[in-house]
Structures are given as structure tokens and as C-alpha cells.
A = this chain, B = another copy of it.
Amino acid sequence: MPTEPADTRSRLVEAAFAAFAQSGYRASVSRIAARAGVARQTLYNHFPTKEALFSEAVALAVHRVLVSLEGGGDVRETLLRFAAAYRARVLSPQGLAVFRTLVAEAPRFPHCAQQFFREGPAATRKRLATYLAAAMQAGELRSDDPQFAAEMLTAMLADTDRLRRLFGLAPKRAGEARRCARVVDCFLRAYAPERN
């Protein structure tokens, strides 16, 4: 093989990921090949069709969407860390671009969209729910459905600002930390342990 360790194939997938994120499925095969620094025919040596390449690019995206959750410290501290990480991931230009493309193409690539959802947002919420369940058990949070609670927290963290950005409005960059704190405190009020 006359090419460097950075596989031609993975360069192609990477280029496809970037191109699809930027331009949606409209991104042309020629441009993707150019972006990867490769002849168009080479692309077709690795992927039979544009669809196949798209699927592969989505698979790459899937590996980049899980948001971590590290315990340690009290509940509020843990949730604050999670909040910052979640918002950073979801509201980043890349996160939004991937979201945009996948939402647009979900009808044409239902399998990709579902895979992304399950291994991204759904998995993240599941982890969060597990943590919340433990905190409920420990009496640090009101005893309730942890899955539902996780859904509420992630919704409050992302929804408004995601919409704003998706529709092209200014990010309100100031006060990211403050925003996290307000949301987490709102959540903690709703899920404070019942008094006696």
C-alpha cells in the first residue's frame, strides 16, 4: 500500500463526516473525495454507493455523542459537572451540525437515525437515570421515576438553547456556568427529598 498509516478509508469517512455535517446529504461525492485528498474512483473502491458512505459517517458520529457522567462530590456537584459536559457536547457547532443533518435525513435513513438516537441521547439519559436512581435510594433526591427525571433534566439543559442555535440566533454566550447552575437548581427544587 502506497499510502500512510492514516488509512485512505478512514480519511474518507472523516471527510464524509465533516462534509455531511456541514452541508447535509447534499454534499457531493466529488467534494468528499477532494476533501479526503483522494480520487473519486478511490472512494468508490471503498464504498459501493453514497448511501453506504453516509451510513459509515453516521457510525463515526455515534461514537462521539455519549456524554460522560462522573460521580464524586455531592449530588449538586455531580449534576453541575454533567450539565456542563452535556451542554458543551450538544450545543457545540459540531453537535448541532450533526443534529441538523440527522434530523433532515432521518426519513431516508431511519436505521441510522435510530441507531444514533439509541446510542446517543437515549444512552446518555439512561446513564443519568441510573445515577439519579442511586441518589433517590440514598435519600438525596425525592423518590420518583428516575428515567422521567433524567428526561426532564436533559430537556431543561438543552432544549431552548438548541432551538435558538438551530434557527440561527445569537448564542447568548455569557453566563454558561450560571445557566447550568440555574437549571440544576431548578431540577433540585423539583426533586428535593420530601420533607419527612
Residues of A participating in the B interface, judged by any CB pair closer than 8 Å: 24, 99-104, 106-107, 110, 113-114, 116-117, 121, 125, 148, 151-152, 154-156, 158-160, 163-164, 166-169, 182-183, 186-187, 189-192
Q: Are A148 and B103 in contact (CB under 8 A)?
A: no
The interface residues of chain B lying within 8 Å CB-to-CB of A113 are 166-168
Whether A103 contacts B100 in the complex (CB less than 8 A), given A154-B159, A186-B152, comes out as yes
- A160-B168 in contact (CB<8A): no
CA distance in complex: A102, B183 (Å):
27
Determine the main DSSP class of A at the interface with B.
helix
Collect the chain B residues with CB atoms within 8 Å of residue A148's CB.
Answer: 182
Known: A114-B169, A168-B110. A24 touches B156 (CB 8 A): no
Interface contact B154-A160, CB-CB below 8 Å: yes
Are B106's CB and A103's CB within 8 A? Answer: no
Beyond known contacts A110-B168, A155-B155, A155-B158: 19 more, CB 8 A cutoff: A99-B103, A100-B107, A101-B104, A103-B104, A103-B166, A106-B168, A114-B168, A117-B163, A117-B164, A117-B167, A152-B183, A154-B159, A155-B156, A155-B160, A156-B156, A158-B159, A186-B190, A189-B191, A190-B190
20 A-B residue pairings within 8 Å (CB atoms): A100-B103, A100-B104, A100-B107, A101-B104, A102-B167, A103-B103, A103-B167, A106-B167, A110-B168, A113-B167, A114-B167, A114-B168, A117-B163, A117-B168, A117-B169, A148-B182, A151-B160, A152-B183, A154-B160, A155-B156
Which among A113, A114, A155, A169 has the greatest number of chain B C-beta atoms within 10 A?
Answer: A155
